[in-house]
Each structure stands twice: as structure tokens, then as C-alpha cells.
Amino acid sequence: MKFDTRCVRVGSRPDPTTGAIVPPIYQTATYTLPEVGTSKGFDYTRSSNPTRAMLEENLAALDGGRHAVCFASGMSSVDAVLRKFDPGDHIVSSDDVYGGVSRLFNRILSRYGLEFTYVDSSKPENVREAVRPNTKMIWVETPTNPLLKVTDLAAVSAIAKEKGVLFGVDSTFATPALLRPFELGADIVMHSTTKYLSGHNQIIGGVVIVQSDELRDHLRFIQKSVGAVPSPFDCWLTMLGIKTLPIRMERHSENAMKVARFLEEHDKVAWVRYPGLKSHPQHEVAAKQMSGFSGMITFELKGGIPSGKTLLNSCRMISLAESLGAVETMITHPATMTHAEVPVAERHARGLTDGLVRLSVGIEDVSDILADLEQALDKA
């Protein structure tokens, strides 16, 4: 099947009892057993659930992986991956990662003996130099959150294979509609299904997709033992969202390109980062490995923090909101919202200034998005 068809069809089988074209929600905690020692494949929903199994089948197919394991959030997905490692193990990570990932790595997992080195992974030589004898994994976001740096996945994959370490990719911003990291050598692909995959601001969820049975078994064990699993209803809603993923991502990308060009030409904007713009430092890498550039834009106003706050508070249609990747256009101030818990010195060292603005461009008519930005910028 082609990708668009997989989004609609894989895992979504008509109900054998009624013929309902939309599979039912198996909203149950437990299952009756035919007799002692036997089951129909399910015994308790923390361990497994038919609705979750359908979603996991679908998500594995979209990324070209063999196994998908769903969790209650993107963060619990990242945590499940990191539980693979032991005290004293070392992970090389992109420096520009979501603030929740920084919090997990620095304030929780480091207390249990894991070691982390952060590098600008858009420069593969930085990754190579950071690998130590005790390094177990290279972890990258691409594009990153919120600076939209792009990592050459094939180049970093070659380093990981040379050094004998795992290579994990958070591909939330791109989705498998635009980027498939397994084709470029990744061992692990993670998504926050909260974002573009479900696409409608209606659920919290995450998924880890792998090729190896050993990694699958590890993730299943964590899923069952910790119990951070999505509800059957959330899985069902995610599957509904995925059916329109290709056409949504096409519209997100189309709208974002127009908005990025508008911002780049505006006299109140100091700079714009969007992988689709030729001015983006890694534009050529993005164009090589992605089939589209998604809906995320980062920019800064010449007026600094005061102008940025005025802009955010002056938007009428565009929502001031924490999240991203939904049909609605949303605007965020990372320094006080998504990355508020990252220490100031660390934020500034990464280039995440206090005046930075992140825009998640939705699928509304682009003329309405541009009109709202224009009136807000007039006040900034």
C-alpha cells in the first residue's frame, strides 16, 4: 500500500459482528477467560487492548517499522526508551530539545546515574566528538523544538553504526508523512501523538516504533510494568485523526511556507527559521530528507521581549497556547511556556532567547492567518 492508503486502512478493519466500517472502542478494563490458562489474546487492558493494538499496527506501518508501542504521552514514550539504560550509561542528545525532555534528562534520570551530553546535532561532527566509550545512544530531534534545527539523519546514523550505539529520533514535528527516519538508518522513532498524528488537540499520547524484537520486548515490559498507557478512547480518536494526516500535513506545510515568507519580509521581524526557506541554515539537508517542511515556524521581533509580548497578546484568531501540530494555528512564547523550566543560562546558550516566538501554523485559510499576524504586528 502507498502511504496515504496505509493511513486510512492499516489496522482499521470493519467490526466482524456488525460490519461497522469504523472499528468499535473496546472500552474495558478486563476480559473474561474461556478457562484457566487460556485467553483470546487479551486479559487486562494495561497489558493489551484491541483498540490500542489496532493503533499500534497502524503507526508501525506508517513509519516503516516492525513494532509500535503506545504510551500515555510523548514524555512517557521518551522515558520508556531511556529505561533501557543502566547507571553509568551515556547518551548524546540534541541540545535543542523540548523543555520536558530536558527536565526528564537533567532532573530525574541523571539522579539515577545516566549521563547526558548535549550537542548541536545539525553538525554531525559534534555528535561524533561527543561519543564516549560508555555511550549507549544518540538521541536527536529533527526539526528541533523550538529552534527548528535539522539533523542529517543519514550522517548521524553512520556515526551510530560506526560506534555501535543506538540511534533514536524524535520525529514529532515532521511525522511519517514528511520524514521516515528508518529509511535513513534510525533504530528508534518516537512521536508525541498529541501533536500532528492525532492533529485535533483532543488527546495526549505517544508512541515508540522499533525494528528489533529485543527493543520491542523492552518497551512492552515497561508499558505493562509502569502502566503509562493511552485509554482505548484516546487510541480510537488518534486513529480517526491519522486518516487525514497526509492532506493535513500538505496544508500545514503550504500555509507555513506562505506565513514564513510573509514574516521574513516584515520590517518588524529580526529573523525567521523555517526549514522550507532557503535562508534556513540546514535548508538543503531538510530538502534532501523531507518531502515537506511541516507547520512550525520560529521567529524573533526587532523590538525584543516587549514587542513579542504585545504580538502574542494581540492575536485575535490565532490561539495563545502551549501545544502544536493541530488544525488550529497556535502561538507560543517558549521562554515562559514550553521551555520555562530550562535554566535561563542554558536557554540562552542554546540560542533560545527571551524574545523568541514559536508559531504552529494550522489549516485555516492562510489569508485569515496572515491578516491576524499583520494586525498583531502593527501593534508590536
Instruction: Give me the catalytic one of 120, 170, 187, 234.
Output: 170
If one counts every other C-beta atom within 10 angstroms of the C-beta of residue 273, the result is 27
Contact 293, 142 (CB under 8 A): no
Distance in angstroms (rounded) separating the CA atoms of residues 119 and 188:
19
Query: Residue 50 CB: number of other CB atoms within 10 A?
Result: 19
Told to judge if 170 belongs to the known catalytic residues of this protein, a careful annotator would answer yes
Q: Are 79 and 192 in contact (CB under 8 A)?
A: no
**How many CB atoms are located within 10 Å of the residue 304 CB?**
13
Indicate the pairing of strand 67-71 with strand 206-210: antiparallel
What is the three-class DSSP state of 192? coil
118: annotated active-site residue: no
DSSP state of 29: S
Q: H helices of 139-280, where?
A: 153-163, 213-226, 232-242, 245-265
Greatest CA separation found in the chain?
73
Residue 136 known to be catalytic: no
Q: Which of 46, 83, 163, 243 is catalytic?
A: 46
Residues, the chain: 380
CA–CA distance, 204 with 103 (Å, rounded to integer) = 18
Confirm if 195 and 324 have CB atoms less than 8 A apart. Answer: yes
User: In the structure, how many helices (H) and strands (E) does the chain have?
Assistant: 13, 12
- Known catalytic membership, residue 15: no
| Catalytic position from the list 52, 136, 195, 309 | 195
**Residue from 6, 63, 79, 98 carrying the catalytic annotation:** 98
- CA dist 133 and 131 (Å) reads 7
Please list the active-site residues.
Answer: 46, 98, 170, 195
